[in-house]
Chain A
Amino acid sequence: MPGDVKVVERPRAESSYVRAAAKGMSITMRHLLSPNKKTQQYPDEKWELAPRTRGTHRMAVHEDGRAKCVACGLCPTVCPVNCIKLVPAEDESGERYAAIYEIDEFRCIFCGYCQEVCPVEAIHLGVHYENAEYSRERWVYDLERLVEQEHDVTALWDPQDPASQ
């Protein structure tokens, strides 16, 4: 015998499901009729994201449409998961530019270091998360695609208080 088992009689009032079911239904009805319903009709209704949300990257451009990136190589250096591929080159006017710039959004952990380290404020994370694709390859964003992104860029810090003091 595994010791003494104490058998507790449950009061009838608690063991009946009727009361609990009625209570549950009342909560359901209350929420159903309430004016401040919280259920979000995604994807018809989108989330309102915080300005510091770190999501899909976006490349800033000059007025003439060229990417601002100067191919300095700091973002692939600082990236903790090596998701940025960069090959620098020289253009006709002797300026340094990124001949190849690819970010693997699948591998990215959205830490925001690339945006933080960028000396020319070219690469940004974005306030955006909807990037489902049918293939893995499509998750590697090349420079053209990064430039095409239109979402807001992440505010990594408060402009009024950049040092968070």
Chain B
Amino acid sequence: MAENGAKATVTLTIDGVEVTVPSGTRVIEAAEHVGVVVPRYCYHPGIPTRPAQCRMCLVEVEGRPKLEPSCTLQAADDMVVNTASDTARTARQSVIEFLLVNHPLDCPICDAAGQCMLQDYAYVTNQLESRVDEPKRIMGRDRISDDILYFADRCVICTRCVRFMRDVAEDDSLIVAQRGDKAYIDTFPGRELDNPFQGNIVDVCPVGALVHEDFVFKARSWDMDATASVCPGCPTGCNVTIDTKENQIVRVKPRHNAAVNSWWMCDYGRKHLVMTNRGVRAEVPLIRDGGGDGDDGGELRPVDWATALDWVAEKVAALGAPGGSAVVSPDASNENLFYLRTLLDRLGVADAAFRVPQGETAELPTVPTLKLRADRAANAAGAGFFGGRRADGPPDGPAGGALVVLDDELEGAGEDFGGSADFFLYLGTRLPGPARNADAVLPIATFAEMDGTFTNFENRVQRFHQALRPPGLARPGWMVLSRVLARLGDGEAVNDVRGAFERMAAQAPAFAGLTWDGIGLKGAPAAGSAAEAAGVAGPAEAGA
């Protein structure tokens, strides 16, 4: 900002590379522009306070007698910064040596091993031996909340956790107790750590001092696969990384997205996502076609996909457009909802009710967009785009015509739900009791088992990716529905989410102009949404 005659940008030299950054930028951030990551512990881009207390990011600035902490040092014109000079390196090595004096070096059993900044920097500085003969101080571990463990010996007292709670969550229940080598993180006397966003202190911890209890000793960092995804817990749609091991979700971490969740996510989202893929699943297509060994012909029988799809397409073709009703899940992806809408239009079904469970809300005071919202569903906005109607109470089947259910658990539905419909098609990840009345059950994948997009509360379309293999014969809903439609002569069977998304973008006005690649990993506002009107950069504009 050109205030008091100050320039909007400054140009400085870092490690011999000239870089121009907005004025007010700290040197540690400017260095990232030229690809230099200055070692740091206490600095975190998402935490506003910078105490410069870890002394890890010291850099040499020409013309200044002492080293300067780059996390607080403002970039200035003509500044010549050297992050890797001998003096800076020696200072860093001394810091590491000090930190390792009391560090237990229990990397073999530490859950942060492989993703630990102390481990990384100890290797980088080649700190192989300790010059200290004294025994290490031993503090043991503590439970600082009902689900977070604190391993005091591993802690480097960077105070990221304390400052996250105090400055981001505005909850001063965490403190640094004692001083010097006896310092440790604890809850303030008489206070408890029970903030709905406290899980983030585990993510900001640069070492393995803070660990979620349900992750302790679960998986080594190199055994896990990370997949970019979106939290389905509420309409906020926090960007997350799902860590999987042996086809199980073992951990969920927030992924940075300045427009949605900044660096954080709520604890409800973490726990909800891990539980998403548990439980008994529908794994095989079932149809009630009168075949099989039963002579009554009234039983659902398991068949292969080709048989099931042929039969469903045949039934749909025979029905024509009888009308009826549909129940959809607000957790279904945009592509699933789009293909379902296409099928419903063919059947003449206008109404698609969706029910959104409600829960308590929680806010992170300093990040206005990040909120645990009352709606407990990922894609109510998407369901709205495709003719969905928000409904309350248990679903009731129509008195004739077609009934199509997309992944709704049918809670509260009567035992004879759908019994009076001419044709009852159930697409679901699970098989609740009332779904057994269906004429055909097609097993589909959960969001973690396929690629797709959700639309969040401000109509931001965000991509998620396949983290797990679906069980049995379950397949993504768009893959299944596109095949039913292809058999009816409507479009092609798609195997790739790009194909599904392209068709959706071409036919659904809300997604006009969006492309799968253009959305990228950060999402883009849907056409005509408030976010787009406000001028949030999106590929729709970039492409125009």
Q: What residues make up the interface of A, taking CB atoms closer than 8 Å to B? A: 70-74, 77, 88-90, 94, 96, 119-120
Contacts and interface: CB of A to CB of B under 8 A. Distances in A.
Contacts of A96: 109, 217
Contacts of A73: 220, 223
8 closest Cβ pairs, A-B complex: A72-B108, A96-B109, A119-B108, A73-B220, A88-B217, A96-B217, A70-B109, A90-B217
A96 B149 CA distance: 14
B216 A71 contact: no
Interface of B: 107-109, 113, 141, 216-218, 220, 222-223
Given A71-B109, A71-B217, 14 more contacts: A70-B108, A72-B108, A72-B113, A72-B220, A73-B223, A74-B108, A77-B220, A77-B222, A88-B217, A88-B218, A90-B217, A96-B109, A96-B217, A119-B108
Nearest to A74: B108
Contacts of A120: 108
User: A73, A90, A119: which has the most chain B beta carbons within 10 Å?
Assistant: A73
Nearest to A96: B109
User: B107, B109, B216, B223: which has the most chain A beta carbons within 10 Å?
Assistant: B109
Given A73-B223, A77-B222, A90 B108 contact: no
7 contacts: A71-B109, A72-B108, A72-B220, A88-B218, A89-B217, A94-B141, A120-B108
Contact of B216 (A72, A77, A90): A90
A106 to B, nearest CB: 23
Nearest to B221: A73
Nearest to A119: B108
Nearest to A91: B217
Nearest to B149: A94
Contacts of A94: 141
Contacts of A90: 216-217
Contacts of B223: 73, 77
A74 B141 CA distance: 24
Contacts of A74: 108
A58 B108 CA distance: 20
A77 B113 CA distance: 14
Contacts of B218: 88
User: A70, A89, A96: which has the most chain B beta carbons within 10 Å?
Assistant: A96
A120 B109 CA distance: 11
A92 to B, nearest CB: 14
Nearest to B140: A94
B414 to A, nearest CB: 44
A98 B141 CA distance: 20
Contacts of B222: 77
Contacts of B220: 72-73, 77
B141 A72 contact: no
A148 B220 CA distance: 28
Contacts of B107: 119
B113 to A, nearest CB: 8
User: B108, B216, B217, B218: which has the most chain A beta carbons within 10 Å?
Assistant: B217
A154 B220 CA distance: 28
A90 B216 CA distance: 8
A98 B220 CA distance: 13
A94 B222 CA distance: 23
A80 to B, nearest CB: 16
B142 to A, nearest CB: 11
A45 B222 CA distance: 47
Nearest to A120: B108
A90 B113 CA distance: 17
Contacts of A88: 217-218
B221 to A, nearest CB: 10
B286 to A, nearest CB: 35
B213 to A, nearest CB: 9
A39 B113 CA distance: 54
A86 to B, nearest CB: 10
B119 to A, nearest CB: 13
A46 B223 CA distance: 42
A165 B455 CA distance: 64
Contacts of B216: 90
A3 to B, nearest CB: 67
Nearest to B111: A96
Contacts of B217: 71, 88-90, 96
A91 to B, nearest CB: 10
Contacts of A71: 109, 217
A88 B222 CA distance: 15
A71 B217 CA distance: 9
User: A70, A71, A72, A89: which has the most chain B beta carbons within 10 Å?
Assistant: A72
Nearest to B220: A73
A133 to B, nearest CB: 28
A11 B217 CA distance: 81
A94 B111 CA distance: 13
